[in-house]
Structure 1
């Protein structure tokens, strides 16, 4: 059995990179991947959450799971457009979030610690309030370039450890920038806004990998 980390709705693979570097088998499932490929030691697999559960390959001993269900139709930052999006869009977004929860709590996830990420969203009303909240700037001690604000929520389970803030001392007194909300319209704006900050990624690994390796 191979120690494995699973990441759902993950295009970039940012969340699993520290785990891959530490020797874990890492698999990222997302609808934007084409077929199956391996880059930098990470496996990227096409998966449509509306069509079924991701299939974890045989021989995987899942030790950690993280999920990034799409927030386009749930984030309260876009509340003024909710009615125009219609019930189908809302239903699909809730279904994808539910797919993440169901996988994390399924036998396939092996009772591994898990986290599910979303910005401030209506999931807090439909399901339950998040367990943790952070800004990327909370972890500039791991990545200086992440000195920006974006309120982000985490729903967690099975012993997930939320890392303590680790802010770079050289940035003390400097206000985090607002690059996420200030991003101009473009074809890749959604991907830019949803990319996982590497500081948080490294902090999560540092807080959780010892337990996952046991």
Structure 2
């Protein structure tokens, strides 16, 4: 975990209960953003976790759903349910193989368990954290190196494959913009900003292959120091017949499969679950089932081996890793070849040479893969 990001949090705690003014909030945000920029500078960079998505990596599921609807019409609810059940069966089939048992998924702010459920069904070791379920181990503000060691044994040294975070949106969503001034002044905003910053610290510490932060349209990107969003969707794109535009930030494959249905229920959430009680907030925040399974389909390690390896070794040439996958190297094979050079020696040139030597022995011709291209992508 970078010292720069750790130091940022000296600004927040004293304001958490007493509130702040606009100037102080801007200072907190600017301090964190400067730390992020320093960490992502060419001189300091040791990963590509927070790179902005390229134009081709940004996906608006409304466009995919519109194309489907134009060509085939809306799915009926039963057709959409059948498609989602197919995704669920795919998860269960992976779970039966045991192939994912050595991978960990951390799901933050996950009271319902809906977003992480497909990963659990597919055999990943899923750890859910929510302060409502356990004030001691579910409080993201308590996360630290010692916390994960003392409570979870650092997950036995297994790879953290994914971190999913449905950060509380009450103080960010534009639907509540009329309350922003009050929330800024009484401390609620800075407490929520602190949770986002803490989430990013956890992501930087574990360096997962994929990570995602979910929120409705609002001010979380600006205040939280997030890279630009990668995916936008509404539940009706994925089998639920209502609208609720949601954005996902992170490093993941945003090209999700769709199951578009007619949004006959419109914007039902505040109509059905209006009010400010914790129960209604929880009901509004439950991850749509179709999204959870579609997200898994687009991002799991078995179906996307190149993404799984490239995300772990994101300083290495992605085309070279693509050749490794093409020639049948597994994630474990690549680990054996490059892990020491990459993580211990920080020698990317040596790590890539180990890959080239192995591939040459397998008959690959690698003239065009001589140099790292310096750019990260999750897929070719």
TM-score bracket relative to the smaller structure = 0.7 to 0.9
Q: Is the 8 A contact 2:230 2:254 kept in 1?
A: no
Aligned equivalents of 1:6, 1:80: Cα separation in 2: 33
The residue that corresponds to 1:177 in the other structure is 266
Q: Is residue 68 of structure 1 aligned with residue 68 of structure 2?
A: no
Larger radius of gyration: 2
The residue that corresponds to 1:143 in the other structure is none
Aligned partner of 1:93 among 186, 189, 192:
192
The residue that corresponds to 1:196 in the other structure is 287
Q: Is the 8 A contact 1:64 1:113 kept in 2?
A: yes
The alignment partner of 2:243 has SS state of: coil
Q: Is the 8 A contact 2:129 2:140 kept in 1?
A: no
Q: Is the 8 A contact 2:256 2:295 kept in 1?
A: no
What is the 5 A alignment of 1:137-152?
137-140=236-239, 146-152=240-246
TM-score, length-normalised on structure 2?
0.47
Aligned equivalents of 1:208, 1:91: Cα separation in 2: 32
Deviation at residue 60 of structure 1 after TM alignment: 2.8
The alignment partner of 2:142 has SS state of: coil
The alignment partner of 1:46 has SS state of: coil
Aligned equivalents of 1:165, 1:19: Cα separation in 2: 17
Deviation at residue 51 of structure 1 after TM alignment: 2.8
Q: Is the 8 A contact 2:108 2:140 kept in 1?
A: no
Figure out how many residues of one structure are paired with residues of the other and give that number.
193
Aligned partner of 1:19 among 115, 119, 125:
119
Aligned equivalents of 1:79, 1:92: Cα separation in 2: 17
The residue that corresponds to 1:42 in the other structure is none
1:78-112 CA distance string (max 9 Å, x none) = 11011222341111111101111221222x24x32
Q: Is the 8 A contact 1:131 1:156 kept in 2?
A: yes
Deviation at residue 163 of structure 1 after TM alignment: 3.4
Over aligned residues, Cα RMSD in angstroms? 2.3
Higher-strand-fraction structure: 1
The alignment partner of 1:4 has SS state of: strand
TM-score, length-normalised on structure 1?
0.80
Structure 1 consecutive aligned stretches of length 4 or more whose deviation exceeds 4 Å: none
The residue that corresponds to 1:81 in the other structure is 179
Higher-helix-fraction structure: 2
Aligned equivalents of 2:159, 2:220: Cα separation in 1: 30
Deviation at residue 165 of structure 1 after TM alignment: 5.0
Q: 1:23 to 1:52 in 2, by over 3 A?
A: closer
Deviation at residue 133 of structure 1 after TM alignment: 1.1
Aligned equivalents of 2:123, 2:141: Cα separation in 1: 31
Deviation at residue 176 of structure 1 after TM alignment: 4.6
Q: Is the 8 A contact 1:133 1:153 kept in 2?
A: yes
The alignment partner of 1:188 has SS state of: helix
